[in-house]
Amino acid sequence: MKFEAITIPKGLLLFPCTLVVVVVLIPLMRSLNESASSIYGTNFESVETRSSCNIFSGNWSRYEKGPYYNNDTCPYIAEKQNCFTNRRPDREFLQWRWKPHQCELPLFDALQFFNLVNGKSMAFVGDSIGRNQMESLLCLLSGVSHPEDITTKHISNYKDEMYFKWWFYADYNFTLTTLWSPFLVKSTRAYLNDTSLDNAEKLYLDEADQAWTSQIQNFDFIIFSGGQWFFRPLTFIQNDQVIGCQLCQNNTQHDFYGYRNAFRTAFRAIINLKGFKGLTFLVTHSPNHFENGEWNKGGACNRTMPYASMEDEVAMHIPYALEELHQMQVEEFLEAEKEAKKKGLKFVLMDITDAMLMRPDGHPNKYGHAIDKNVTINDCVHWCMPGPVDTWNEFLLYLLKMQM
């Protein structure tokens, strides 16, 4: 059977098609876009758009909606980062969000985070900067679920509770921990009993610290950070031989030699750890902002607003050795990433350095302790909570979505 062609006037054909587009498709597309915006907290972006965006290059933009939490709604803020309990008077530093140059950084979505980590485990490995980020994450998640503190199930020495913390979210079978290892490699841990900077800490640069290597074999996510402890007197040991030192008087001084080799050894330990299949993150160096003196000589961070851009006044206030330390970290990361790929492992860089360099206003300063305490050292290293450190976990969620 043959059908005869029927000629339809063009206008008659286009009119109903146009009507369908206007009446049905456009509202539907708008609805879908609004739904995506409500889920991600920003304009809808395709995977292709997000994957081509450098979220670490940008500026801080005004954001009037305020923080995700406060010291009343989150019980996990450490006293030293609880700036408002310690009577910090200004609030303007909370009215900024990181805006990448080429895209939008989605708001943190606790439900979305839990969906990604359901049934998994995450460890922050490093010093108190890593703990600062983990406690920020606890607060960001507290609007959806609160964890059980299971620290005593994993450590037997009560002194270690100051340095190690374990949390478990039963609703999502998710374990979160911070593993204290300020040098990432084996050390004599003399700092536990000697808080002065007169005596050098011995670092065994070719041996990763068992405080974390003995714990993370079955973890799904490892997040390395740190670096603040490498500014002190250090003695470097390799192959059981003293090969140099830092801030010493002999002729074998190697400034920050330990820093580079500590990250190199830590990355190698992860790559060669039998049975490890997790995703490894490196959080780059977190800058301090001491002005008008060093940390122990009256230095402070009194600013209440971020720098406008990397080309602004920030160029005049780059902390000592920051550029060198950042370069060392990234170089070691890139080498480790190549080796990891050969074994089917993934390394992910979270480059927070430039963004945080623009936030001299985000530190506790003198509000890292009760105002009536006789404390003379200001904290321009850690970050107030809530504050700019919450952006790190916005980065973390974004990167998790990219990898999973």
Per-residue pLDDT tens over the stretch 46-72: 333 345 689 999 999 999 999 999 999
Active site residue: 109, 121, 127, 128, which one? 128
Active site residue: 109, 127, 209, 379, which one? 379
- Residue 382 DSSP code: S
Q: Strand (E) positions, 284-364? A: 346-350
37 has catalytic annotation:
no
Angle formed at CA 271 by CA 269 and CA 275, multiple of 5 degrees: 100
379 has catalytic annotation:
yes
pLDDT band at 252; cut points 50, 70, 90 = low
Burial 362-383 (b: 16+ CB within 10 A, else e): bbbbbbbbeeeeeeeebbbbbb
Averaged confidence pLDDT in the chain: 85
Q: Which residues is 354 bridged to in the sheet?
A: none
The domain spans of the chain are 59-403
Give the DSSP per-residue string, 174-233. Answer: EEEEEEE-TTSEEE--GGGT--SSSSPEEEEEEEE-HHHHTT-TT-SEEEE---GGGGS-
Calpha distance 124→208 (Å, rounded): 15
- The H or E element spanning position 40 is helix 26-40
Calpha distance 184→203 (Å, rounded): 10
Query: Which whole number is the average pLDDT over 381-402?
Result: 98
Query: Which whole number is the average pLDDT over 83-104?
Result: 95
- Residue 301 DSSP code: -
326 has catalytic annotation:
no
Active site residue: 289, 326, 363, 382, which one? 382
Whole-number percent of the chain with pLDDT over 70: 81
Q: Which residues is 279 bridged to in the sheet?
A: 221, 346
pLDDT band at 320; cut points 50, 70, 90 = confident
- Predicted local distance difference test score (pLDDT) of residue 336: 98
The CATH number of the structural domain formed by 59-403 is: 3.40.50.1110
- What's the whole-model pTM score? 0.85
- Predicted local distance difference test score (pLDDT) of residue 291: 94
Checking DSSP bridges between strand 121-126 and strand 174-180, what pairing results, if any?
parallel
pLDDT one-digit tens code per residue, 349-367 = 999 999 999 999 999 999 9
pLDDT one-digit tens code per residue, 156-167 = 775 666 689 999
Query: Which whole number is the average pLDDT over 324-329?
Result: 96
pLDDT one-digit tens code per residue, 186-211 = 999 877 776 666 778 999 999 999 99
